A = this chain, B = another copy of it.
Amino acid sequence: MAGMKEIRWLDEREMAAWTAFLEASHRVFRSVEQQLKDDAGLSHPQYEILVKLAAAGRAGIRMTELADSLITSKSGLTYQVGQLEKRGLVARRACPTDVRGVTATLTEAGRTALAEAAPGHVARVREALIDTLDREELATLARAFARVGQRLRD
């Protein structure tokens, strides 16, 4: 059996963690997505874009940087920013330092839309996840997932 690697299956605890993670995260995303769509007419990717742009201020962010921080593909980002631009929530500008570059910025309407969407979104995030966890679980989750995200970033 040369080259045959030993397979380390998941034991009961590991499997329980994995399946719980799968179900819970799917349901949380679905719940959050639903709320945003119903109450603000935004998809979650779109909401995340608005949040990142709000944090970036007047300067805006480069498309690639946005795509990296949002995990979606570049083409997906182009599409979503296009949608937001159609609605007047986001503006595109040529990047000053790189002619190829495009920086996206939040418009006033975008800032308003985000401000109106945020309370309902936060409430749903609490309902779906945060308020279900106690203080210690919250801390553990934050620490562990920060590490997981960190590792996968490379």
Contacts and interface: CB of A to CB of B under 8 A. Distances in A.
Interface of A: 7-10, 13-14, 16-18, 20-31, 48, 71, 119, 122-123, 125-126, 128-130, 132-133, 136-149, 151-153
A93 B36 CA distance: 38
A143 B138 CA distance: 12
Total identical chains:
2
B31 A138 contact: no
18 contacts: A7-B119, A10-B125, A13-B138, A13-B139, A16-B142, A16-B146, A17-B138, A17-B141, A17-B145, A18-B125, A20-B141, A21-B129, A23-B71, A27-B152, A28-B152, A30-B71, A140-B140, A141-B144
